[in-house]
Amino acid sequence: MRKYLFFDIDGTLVPGGQEISSLPASTVLALKKLKEAGHFLCIATGRSQAKAYDLMKGLGFENMVSDGGYGVTINNELLGITPMNRDDIAGLIEECDRLGFPWAIQTDNSKFRSAPDERFYEATHDTYMGTKVIPGLDPRKCPIIYKAYIVCDTGEEQKLESLKKVTWCRYHPEYFFVEPTDKAYGIKQIMDYYHADYKDAIVFGDNNNDLSMFIDDWYKVAMGNATDIIKEKADLITADIMDDGIYKACEKLHLFDSSYGK
């Protein structure tokens, strides 16, 4: 009867853009009771494993789907991260060079990205992660590429024909992320690792970047503050994050029963 629970971070566990300290008290209690009941708890985030690891620990988790679904951490140990297609990223970067769009790439699991010059930082002044300048950086010579970051104004990305071959998201007006967006991929890796039935998974999310895990293979819980499309895909719509949404959902699903997860 053990269940495997996967939680998005921003807007689901923590109010969007807030610190760990803003984790609702009812959510803290819910996570404690879920652990006591014997369930498997896991974060599902688009963030890179290196960037999210401390956050995972701070939230009291030991397991994580990271890197948009391409990274898997179990019992605090990174099992691996699937890189993006190097040729697709390299082709995109070459097109960016022709159009004069500054760029950076992430070539390892660290808190730094690499850029061929200072233009990326000068255009963004972004502190999401550190930026190392490597003159002559050539994506085609990089064994692994996990993500890319492209500077251009909103709408200008439509000029990039190569963008059709990759998945991307924009969180800032100055630049966008080229990164995996398939949380279900990582969730299935964890379920397969434990030889667990997909029907025993429950996912919690709120925003459109959670759509990839809102599939029919398992049970889906949308927060009350979720987007309309997430709610349409959900099996259960709970209360808002700040209105004890996580706790109320777990209570409704009887996940706190003392023998449920044994």
- Whether residue 17 is predicted with pLDDT greater than 80 in this model: the reply is no
Decide if 187 contacts 203 (C-beta within 8 A): yes
Structural domain ending residue among the three candidates 157, 178, 199 = 178
- Predicted local distance difference test score (pLDDT) of residue 1: 82
Residue 262 located in a structural domain: no
- Domain CATH number, residue 186: 3.40.50.1000
Asked if 33 and 256 touch (Cβ cutoff 8 Å), the reply is: yes
238, part of any domain: yes
* pLDDT one-digit tens code per residue, 162-190: 999 999 999 899 999 999 999 999 999 99
Range of the domain at 70: 4-82+182-252
Note the pLDDT tens digit of each residue in 75-84: 999 999 999 9
**Residue 77 shares a structural domain with residue 186:** yes
pLDDT band at 127 (very low <50, low <70, confident <90, very high): confident
Average pLDDT rounded to a whole number, residues 192-208: 97
- Predicted TM-score (pTM) of the model is 0.90
The answer to whether position 260 is within a domain reads no
Q: What are 36-54's pLDDT values in tens digits?
A: 999 999 999 999 999 999 9
Domain of 116: which CATH number?
Answer: 3.30.1240.10
Is 168 found in the same domain as 109? yes
In a domain, 104, yes or no: yes
Tell me, yes or no, whether 35 lies in a domain.
yes
DSSP-based three-state secondary structure for 42: strand
Split into its structural domains, the chain has a count of 2
Q: Where are the alpha helices (DSSP H) in 37-127?
A: 49-58, 86-99, 119-124
217 pLDDT higher than 90: yes
Q: Which residue has the higher pLDDT, 258 or 56?
A: 56
According to DSSP, the β-strands at 103-106 and 77-81 are unpaired
Percent of the chain with pLDDT over 90: 88
Helix (H, G, I), strand (E, B) or coil at 258: coil
pLDDT band at 234 (very low <50, low <70, confident <90, very high): very high
Does any domain span residue 221?
yes
Q: Which two tokens stand for residue 220?
A: 């889906």
Please tell me the distance from the alpha carbon of residue 137 to that of residue 116, in angstroms, as a whole number. 5
Residue with tokens 């995109």: 92
Specify whether 71 is located in the same domain as 125: no
Last residue of one domain, picked from the residues 178, 202, 226: 178
Q: Are residues 128 and 174 in the same domain?
A: yes
Judge whether residue 260 has pLDDT over 50: no
Are 172 and 209 part of one and the same domain?
no
Distance CA 141, CA 147 (A): 15
Residues 67, 186: Cα–Cα separation, whole Å = 9
The reply to whether 110 falls in a domain is: yes
Do 62 and 186 sit in the same domain of this protein? yes
How does residue 22 score in pLDDT terms, banded at 50, 70 and 90?
Answer: confident
261 domain residue, yes or no: no
- Identify the sign of the CA torsion 114, 117, 119, 122: positive
Residues 6+ away with beta carbon under 8 Å from 8: 43, 44, 45, 204, 205, 206, 207, 209, 210
Task: Answer for the pair 96, 160: CB distance below 8 angstroms, yes or no.
Answer: yes
| Residue 120 binned pLDDT confidence (cut-offs 50, 70, 90) | very high
Asked whether residue 170 falls in the same domain as residue 97, the answer is yes
Give the domain-ending residue among 153, 178, 203.
178
